Amino acid sequence: MDLIEFPSLGRRDLRDLRLGVDGAFKDFTRAYGETLESIFEPLKTFLVFLEDLLITSPWPLVLLVLVGIVFLMSRSRTIAIGSLIALCLIGFFGMWEDTMRTVAMVAVCTMVAVVFGIPIGILMARSDRAQALINPVLDLMQTMPSFVYLIPVVMIFGLGKVPGVIAVVIYAIPPMIRLTNLGIRLVDQDVLEAADAFGSSGWQKLRNVQLPLALPTIMAGINQCIMMSLSMVVVASMIGVKGLGQPVLQAINNQYFTMGVMNGLAIVAIAIIFDRATQAYGRRLQKHSEVVHG
Amino acid sequence: MVEATGIEIRNLYKIFGPNGAEMVEKVKAGMSKTELNDDYNHVLGLNDINISMPGGKIQVVMGLSGSGKSTLIRHINRLIDPTAGEVLYGDDDVCQMSIRQLRDFRRHKTAMVFQKFALLPHRTVMQNAVYGLEIQGVDQKEAAERASRWIARVGLEGFEDNYPNQLSGGMQQRVGLARALTNDADILLMDEAFSALDPLIRMDMQSVLLDLQEELHKTIVFITHDLDEALRLGDRIAILRDGAVVQQGTGQDIVLNPADEYISSFVKEVNRSRVILVDTVMAAGQKLEGGLSIPKGVLLEEAAKRFADSGEGVANIVDASGNPIGVLNVQDTMRAMVTPAEH
Ligand SMILES: Nc1ncnc2c1ncn2[C@@H]1O[C@H](COP(=O)(O)OP(=O)(O)OP(=O)(O)O)[C@@H](O)[C@H]1O
Ligand SMILES: [Mg+2]
């Protein structure tokens, strides 16, 4: 027996297998592609609306609103002023429109991740079986190279915003789910016992005790989710998502060093703004649980 | 006022571990806590507990650390499920209640103060205090009114909007107390509810509890490992060791007739003049003409004070309508105050 060569399926068998699976998937796409697309239509409409709003509104107004949101979340003048300067520089260097597209994209992706991630995280926290089932899926989502799941997504939806959102959400939702689960599981048993002793129902316990106490951890999940969405913008630009990713991609293809660096820095700037604002917000939420007297 | 319902605990066993149900048989056959732990890796939490807690009275449960006090009190509102046995409230077995019945029972019949406070850290003192009422669906405004009365009563007026982590340990414990009292339930479960308080506030809280009891006659289960506190508060006292009841009775019973070495060591240091009643020491059936009279049910301490004030050496003990029922003299009073029970 040949011990050097690993015994494998014949070349012909392998090809048949591939063709078979691909063929079946293509049939599936043809049969259900439009239905799936129509399901995601509202998402697309919303994304387009948000993008238009950010791009077509007068820039001083947009700037004011963005900095205002940052200030309300962080309650920190330093962070607000930093964001103001960063956004002004971005505008000055001609990246305003692309930045707004990226901000809209990240905002929508984060919203989708929150809407799906928190309930899934709650489910995981409530049932060990659900946790055992969902965890490997999350591992898969986090380690599978994103290019691989881009293929079926593009096959179904073609190029554009929707496949972009789906790809980004697949990549960015796992920390949202994991940290929601973790946050709820870490809630002090004594406090839960007290809630039980007063006759709380499962829902009352979740709403009055578990979610509020898990909130700082959930905020960390949202923060992670935003960061990961941002790191996906370049990859997403490969399937036609407009924004700061596209000029970077162009720069790679054409070896435009300055263009690459400028857009890259803009992504970094937005990431820092988002990060500081959400972290400061998370810290404020945590304030009440810091020092506990014995 | 309707007579408050008591709690009957019958043949209650709790064994921590995966095969508790099987181990019960071994424990019934006489296996000790240590053996069970070493040979089978199960922890004997409670061992054949039988206590009948009278309605409208304060039942104290005492015992050293790890004797199973917290485990026992948690069975009354079934925060812990028993391995075997019954916990009866009136005709209902708490252990047989459905989830919904249990929830209603906890909402409307019980309130609990926790050894480790267990306050909701994200809620203010006021929001913590109204928690039970909120769960019951009581109107917010009314809940706040009722809560602020109790917050004031435990001495936390002005701290309504503070968060638990801004308060000292003793203050946090009083928030727990206010939270339970606000619930206004028939059964009050208090797991070392005063242990984190300084002596002055502790005395004060004991008085609050006694006043409350005078008015409302709740069924209170009070855990402590302070004998003086037990004697002051308890209408009845049960003493636990290694998960089993070693003695139960009134404070006087326990101080006068400690069941064994363990309990004698407990009661040795106690101030007997604050436990023993004149009725116990008097020579019953006798009667003096004239002289000092002392009402029955008075503590020896009070009697001694009256002897000292009046300069008399003997007194009639009289019942509520003033009829003499016995005679007490100074010597007997003194002797009863200083003689510990032999063992
Ligand atoms: N969940 C559990 N699993 C295993 N053993 C437990 C558990 N809870 C309590 N025990 C054991 O049961 C026994 C009684 O514990 P419990 O907390 O009732 O003691 P306690 O009398 O309240 O003590 P303390 O005065 O220190 O509060 C201890 O030996 C403890 O180790
Ligand atoms: Mg305890």
Closest Cα in chain A, distance from residue B99 (Å)? 10
Two tokens at B165? 């982590």
Asked whether residue A129 is assigned to any structural domain, the reply reads: yes
Among B103, B116, B120, the residue with its CB nearest the CB of A209 is B120
Residue A54 backbone zone (phi > 0: left; psi -120 to 50: alpha; other: beta): alpha
Choose the final residue of a domain: B273, B295, B328.
Answer: B273
Residues with Cβ within 8 Å of B301's Cβ and at least 6 positions away in sequence, in order, are B271, B273, B274, B337
Total domains in chain A come to 1
With the most atoms of ligand 1 within 8 angstroms of its CB, the residue from B33, B43, B241 to mutate is B43
Q: Is A288 in contact with B106 (Cβ distance < 8 A)? A: no
Q: Please indicate, yes or no, if residue B103 is contained in any of the structural domains.
A: no
How many residues are listed for chain A in this entry? Answer: 294
Residue of A nearest to B185 (CA): A198
- Let me know if residue B42 belongs to a domain: no
CB A267 within 8 A of CB A182: no
Residues B299 and B248 occupy one common structural domain: no
Same domain flag for B220 and B126: yes
* pLDDT (average), residues A138-143: 92
Name the burial class of residue A264, with classes exposed (0-12), middle (13-18) and buried (19+) by CB atoms within 10 angstroms of its CB: middle
Please list every protein residue whose CB sits less than 6 Å from any atom of ligand 1.
B 16, 43, 45, 63, 65-71, 115, 225
Residue of B nearest to A288 (CA): B122
B86: helix, strand or coil = strand
For residue B69, the ligand 1 atom closest to its alpha carbon is 21
Give domain status of residue A6, yes or no: no
Q: Are residues B175 and B121 in the same domain?
A: yes
- Cα–Cα distance, B336 to B304 (Å, whole number): 11
Distance (Å, rounded) from C-alpha A242 to C-alpha A47? 12
Structural domain including A201 reads: 31-284
Range of the domain at B281: 274-342
Is the domain of B248 the same as that of B266?
yes
Q: What pLDDT tens digit does each residue of chain B (343 aa) get? A: 456 889 999 999 999 999 888 899 989 988 888 889 999 999 999 999 999 999 999 999 999 899 999 999 999 999 999 999 999 998 899 999 999 999 999 999 999 999 999 999 999 999 999 999 999 999 999 999 999 999 999 999 999 999 999 999 899 999 999 999 999 999 999 999 998 899 999 999 999 899 989 988 999 999 998 888 999 999 999 999 999 999 999 998 998 899 988 888 878 888 888 888 888 889 888 888 878 889 988 899 999 999 999 988 899 999 888 888 999 989 988 888 887 655 4
Place of tokens 């490997």: A136
Q: For residue B244, what is the domain's CATH number?
A: 3.40.50.300
Residue B84 domain-assigned (yes or no):
no
Contact between residue A242 and residue A179 where contact means Cβ atoms under 8 Å apart: no
Ligand 1 atom nearest to B74, measured from its CA: 18
Give the count of beta carbons closer than 10 Å to the beta carbon of residue B69.
25
CB neighbourhood size of B132 (10 A): 29
Contact A3/B at CB under 8 A:
no
Q: With respect to residue B315, please indicate whether it lies within any of the assigned structural domains.
A: yes
CA distances from A242 to A108, A250, B306 (A): 14, 12, 96
Q: Do A191 and B120 touch (CB under 8 A)?
A: yes
- Nearest CB among A199, A288, A289 relative to B106 is that of A199
> Which atom number of ligand 1 is nearest to the Cα of residue B115?
27
**Tens of pLDDT, residues A218-257:** 999 999 999 999 999 888 998 889 999 999 999 999 999 9
Residues of chain B found within 8 Å of residue A208, distances taken between Cβ atoms: 120, 131, 134-135
- A133 within some domain: yes
* Residues B208 and B264 reside in one and the same domain: yes
| Among B63, B54, B13, B2, CA closest to B225 | B63
How far, rounded to the nearest angstrom, does the alpha carbon of residue B86 sit from its chain's CA centroid?
20
Quick one: closest CA in A to B120, which residue? A191
Tokens representing B61 are 């449960």
Give yes or no: residues B258 and B333 share one domain: no
pLDDT in tens, A178-206: 999 999 999 999 999 999 999 999 999 99
Here the ipTM equals 0.86
User: Does the beta-carbon distance from B135 to A204 stay under 8 Å?
Assistant: yes
For residue B250, CA distances in Å to B60, B236, B239, B300 come to 10, 5, 11, 16
pTM for this structure? 0.86
Q: What is the CATH number of the domain that holds A194?
A: 1.10.3720.10
A209 to chain B, any CB pair closer than 8 A? The answer is: yes
Query: Which of B113, B73, B110, B89 has the alpha carbon at shortest distance from B184?
Result: B110
| Residue where the block lists tokens 């009697």 | B303
Residue A198 lies in a domain: yes
Q: Are residues B187 and B205 in the same domain?
A: yes
**pLDDT value at residue A293:** 45
Q: pLDDT of A56-98, one tens digit each? A: 999 999 999 999 999 999 999 999 999 999 999 999 999 999 9
Query: A20 in a domain, yes or no?
Result: no
Query: Would B40 be classed as within a structural domain?
Result: no
Kindly give, in sequence order, each residue whose CB lies less than 8 Å from that of residue B289, ignoring residues fewer than 6 positions away: none
Contacts of B286 (CB under 8 A, 6+ apart): B326, B327
Q: How far is A283 from chain B (nearest CA, A)?
A: 13
* B39 CB burial (10 A radius; 0-12, 13-18, 19+): exposed
For residue A2 the two structure tokens come to 């040949």
Number of domains in chain B: 2
CA B123 to chain centroid, in Å, comes to 29
Domain harbouring B286, CATH code: 3.10.580.10
B5 in a structural domain: no
Question: Could you tell me if B120 lies within 8 Å of chain A, comparing CB atoms?
Answer: yes
Indicate whether A102 pLDDT > 90: yes
Which of B78, B99, B128, B135 to probe by mutation at the A interface, max A CB count within 10 Å?
B135
**Residue A19 included in any domain:** no
Q: Is there a single domain that holds both residue B169 and residue B293?
A: no
Q: Which two tokens stand for residue B103?
A: 């929830």
Please give the sequence-ordered ranges of beta strands (E in DSSP) within chain B, or none if there are none: 7-16, 43-53, 58-63, 84-89, 92-93, 110-113, 187-191, 219-224, 236-241, 244-249, 283-284, 292-295, 314-318, 324-329
| Residue B79 near chain A (CB below 8 Å) | yes
Nearest chain A alpha carbon to B109 = A198
Q: Reduce the DSSP state of residue B245 to 3 states and report it.
A: strand
* Averaged pLDDT for residues A102-130: 96
Rg from Cα positions in chain A:
23
CB pairs under 8 A between A and B: 77
Q: Examine the domain organization and report whether B253 and B289 are in the same domain.
A: no
Of the residues B247, B273, B299, the one at which a domain ends = B273
Q: Which ligand minimizes its atom distance to the CA of B113?
A: 2
Residue B96 within any structural domain of the chain: no
Query: In terms of domains, do B250 and B320 share one?
Result: no
Token pair belonging to B213: 């009891």
Chain A residue with Cα closest to B111 = A198
Residue A127 touches partner B, C-beta closer than 8 Å? no
Query: CA-to-CA distance for B175 and B178, rounded, in angstroms?
Result: 5
**Residue A3 covered by a domain:** no
Do B231 and B288 have their domain in common? Answer: no
Residues in chain B: 343
Helix axes A41-56, A161-185, angle to 10 degrees: 100
A291 within some domain: no
B9 touching A (Cβ < 8 Å): no
Is residue B85 included in any domain, yes or no? no
Quick one: pLDDT band at residue A294, thresholds 50, 70, 90?
A: very low
Q: How many CB atoms lie within 10 A of CB B107?
A: 21
The closest residue, in CA terms, to atom 26 on ligand 1 is B65
Asked if B266 and B125 sit in the same domain, the reply is yes
CB atoms within 10 A of CB A155: 16
